[in-house]
């Protein structure tokens, strides 16, 4: 009986240890994967923004101001649509609502847009 109690205690301790170690290892891997995926998403966004700003800079350097203006309006319109979708959702609004109110009240319709809004079907400049 005493031997059985020792085995039960030993098994309980070792299983608890392995469970805790596995949980810690899993948490570490999940966080590492989350950070990697976040960096990858940020890189994709930054690449897209870079190419837009690069094209605007090239258009300005070539004195093609109408093209540069159009490219800026396409991006501003697209980002405005994203902001409007965000503030329409309570979870997202609670994160950026105050900032939008302060620095981009036009996204809330409180002031007129300071640029020409282009509909979503317009994604390129000719």
Q: How much is the average pLDDT of 84-109?
A: 91
Between CA 48 and CA 91 the distance in angstroms is 26
pLDDT grade for 122, boundaries at 50, 70 and 90: low
Higher-pLDDT residue of 100 and 46 is 100
Q: What is the pLDDT, as a whole number, of residue 121?
A: 64
Q: What pLDDT digit, counting tens, does each position of 33-65 carry?
A: 999 899 888 888 888 888 889 999 999 999 999
């Amino acid at each position: 009986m005493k031997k059985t109690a020792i085995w039960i205690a030993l098994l309980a301790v070792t299983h608890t240890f392995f469970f805790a170690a596995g949980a810690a290892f899993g948490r570490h891997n999940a966080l590492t994967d989350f950070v990697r995926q976040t960096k990858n998403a940020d890189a994709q966004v930054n690449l897209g923004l870079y190419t837009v700003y690069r094209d605007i800079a090239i258009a300005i350097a070539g004195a093609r101001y109408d093209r540069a203006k159009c490219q800026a309006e396409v991006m501003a319109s697209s980002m405005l649509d994203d902001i409007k979708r965000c503030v329409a959702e309570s979870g997202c609004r609670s994160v950026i609502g105050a900032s939008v109110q302060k620095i981009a009240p036009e996204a809330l319709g409180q002031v007129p847009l300071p640029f020409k809004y282009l509909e979503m079907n317009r994604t390129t400049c000719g």
